[in-house]
Amino acid sequence: MRKYLIRAAGILCLSLFVTGCGVNTIPTEQEQAKAAWAEVQNQYLRRADLIPNLVNTVKGYAQQEQKVLIDVTEARAKATSVQVNANDLTNPEALQRFQNAQAQLSGALGRLLAVSENYPDLKSNQNFLALQSQLEGTENRIAVARRDYIAAVQTYNTEVETFPGRLWAGVYNAKPMATFATGEENQRAPNVQF
């Protein structure tokens, strides 16, 4: 009976030590970062799904703006073809390719929305206004999802790179995850002229 109690006490102490030492922190933080990444992808997919409707609405009004429409369609195709899954989050080059494709799509969408300025009827079309509002909301959701992903990756990377997480990172072969970095063009103030 005494050996049984000593073993039980030993197992209890070992389990308390293991649960209190952070052994589960890295997998927990990693899963939170992966979930945040899934939300980023979800919002980009939502934007990609809205684009064909927006393009079709603009087509009816802006036949001569075919190049802009083609650019948007091609940028959407490229953006949806560049995928980064949760296993690629430690590869900064893969994330950079994804960011570049999404940035090209954002630029093409900006040009498409600027086209509406030349077409007063298009600007007042309810379908266009609803789609424009949906796109604006989606862009805000993308920004929030990216912010949440960046925070989750920061927490994970801090755990992987500091003690005692660094010890457990070796056990799990955990590597720091890549995060979003804004391009140089986004760091300059826009030129506004009246």
Of 146, 162, 143, the residue nearest 25 (C-alpha): 162
Closest listed residue to residue 41, CA positions, set 146, 157, 155: 146
pTM flag (> 0.85): no
Q: Are 180 and 149 in contact (CB under 8 A)?
A: yes
64-103 pLDDT per residue, tens:
678 888 889 999 999 999 999 888 899 999 999 999 999 9
Asked if the structure places residue 64 within a domain, the reply is yes
Buried b (16+ CB within 10 A) or exposed e, 45-74: ebbbebbeebbebbeebbeebeebbebbee
* Residue 193, pLDDT score: 47
Percent of the chain at pLDDT > 90 equals 41
Tell me, yes or no, whether 149 lies in a domain: yes
Name which of 44-48, 60-64, 81-85 the model is least confident about.
60-64
- In a domain, residue 11? The reply is no
Q: Check pLDDT > 80 for residue 50.
A: yes
Number of domains in the chain: 1
d(CA 164, CA 49): 44
- 194 in any annotated domain: no
Q: What is the pLDDT of residue 4?
A: 84
pLDDT exceeds cutoff 50 at 192: no
Helix (H) or strand (E) holding 53, with range, is: helix 25-61
- Asked whether residue 156 carries a pLDDT value surpassing 90, the answer given is yes
Q: Considering only residues 18 and 132, tell me which one the structure prediction assigns the higher pLDDT.
A: 132
Query: What local confidence, expressed as pLDDT, does residue 185 receive?
Result: 62
Tokens of 160: 């992987």
Q: Is residue 133 part of a domain?
A: yes
Summarised one tens digit per residue, pLDDT across range 131-154 is: 889 999 999 999 999 999 999 999
Say if 61 falls within a structural domain: yes
Torsion-angle region of 82 (φ positive above 0: left; ψ -120 to 50: alpha; else: beta): beta
Is 10 a member of any domain?
A: no
Q: What CATH number is given to the structural domain containing 58?
A: 1.20.1440.20
| pLDDT on residue 18 | 57
- Give mean pLDDT, residues 47-76: 85
**150 or 17, which is more confident?**
150
Residue 159 is assigned to a structural domain of this protein? yes
User: Domain range spanning residue 55?
Assistant: 25-181
Contact 39, 149 (CB under 8 A): yes
